[in-house]
Amino acid sequence: MLLNSAFAKKFGYMPSCIARAPGRVNLLGEHVDYNDGPVLPVALDMAVELAFAPKEDGLITLHALDLGERVTFNLKSMQDKKDWQGHELPHWALYPAGVAWALQDAGLSVPGMQAVYTSEIPIGAGLSSSAAVEVAFAVAWQALGGWKADRMKIAQLCQRAENVYVGVASGLMDQFASAHGVTGKALYFDTRNLEWQTVPLPPATALVIADSRVPRSLTVSAYNQRRAACEQAVELLRKYRPDIRSLRDITPIELAAYQEFLPEEIEKRAEHVVKEIARVHSAVRALELGETRSFGALMYAGHASLRDLYEVSTPELDILVETAHLLKGCVGARLTGAGFGGCTVNLVEEAQVDQFIEGLKIGYHNKTGREAVIYHSQASNGASVRKARN
């Protein structure tokens, strides 16, 4: 195995185990996590893989094979975010170092480690490569440390690493999906009470992810503006519904009754969130009943809402969705992730995938002059650890 060979080349002996953690794509439920809403992600068959072995001196030496970079840091001095020689940790190393910090802070054993890792997940495409790195290291340290924790706890610790140590304000969905994925299933995840269940994906379908190659440019200010609009909507609606905690607590009918009391932009943002939450619930019912066309219609509706009401799409993402809609075998399509660039997700009949991908590439190039990067994927299992084979 290439990962074993890479480890042996770097350290002179074979690794003890291989950890794997997948990326994720979200099928429905965009921009609802900070409104206590439910989401519908899928763990992908693109993953981070990590070959590792324990090290007795408490040092952690990591090789990021894709970057060609190496770092060593001491578990005793992670708070300073410096390597063992006192230099600032490179940005990529903050994610595994943050996991070690979060685990230790929770009172869990974090043995020294030597590791090499690589990723099939494209960086910066909105498929949660960073969360996959975090979860892979967490389950590796769990295997070495011998401690028990359920997958939700692992996801929460990884989220804390990203929020507090790395300084990225992410929700829990990415780490949750990477830890909990199930082959052939979507994951309904309630971000308010953390309840979740698997939902069957339509048989004989595949996930096709199209990277627009427009870098995601969601600025902090744009994100904060949308969060603030949601919070303002809640404050205004509390005059009529004093009991609500978030937009999760307003139904589409109630919003229609009170929307005249909201400023136009605030109403548009609230309408997206409230109806997107309703779409997630409808999607679960459609999938459970095998109503594939209904599910696809909800994906298209979600994209239109993100484009027109939340205003986070781009011309390129719109073209990808419009082109997909016209291609044979496409069940549904929408932008996925925060928007302002990045990817679309398409549910496609398996028998039509090759023709669909070719048609999408050609159509997108003809209309934009850009080359989309397209991935044929399936729903996969979540994080795992296995013994390395010599």
Residue 112, φ and ψ in degrees, nearest 5: -60, 160
* Annotated catalytic residue, options 33, 45, 83, 174: 174
Q: How far apart are CA 96 and CA 101, in angstroms?
A: 9
Q: Which one, of 123, 186, 134, 129, lies nearest residue 156 by Cα?
A: 134
CB contact burial 24-39 (16+ within 10 A = b; e otherwise) = bbbbbbbbbbbbbbbb
Distance CA 332, CA 360 (A): 13
Tell me which residue of 15, 21, 20 sits closest to 52, measured CA to CA: 15
Determine the 3-state secondary structure of 192 from DSSP. coil
Q: Which helix (H) or strand (E) holds 22?
A: strand 17-26
Cα-based angle 128, 381, 144 (whole degrees, multiple of 5): 85
Q: Which of 173, 138, 141 minimizes the C-alpha distance to 157?
A: 138
Say how far apart CA 69 and CA 50 lie, in whole Å: 15
Query: What is the residue type of 148?
Result: K
The answer to whether residue 174 is catalytic is: yes
CA–CA distance, 143 with 145 (Å, rounded to integer): 6
Residues 6+ apart with CB under 8 A from 43: 22, 23, 24, 177, 178, 180, 181, 182, 187, 379, 380, 381, 382
Which residue numbers are catalytic? 174
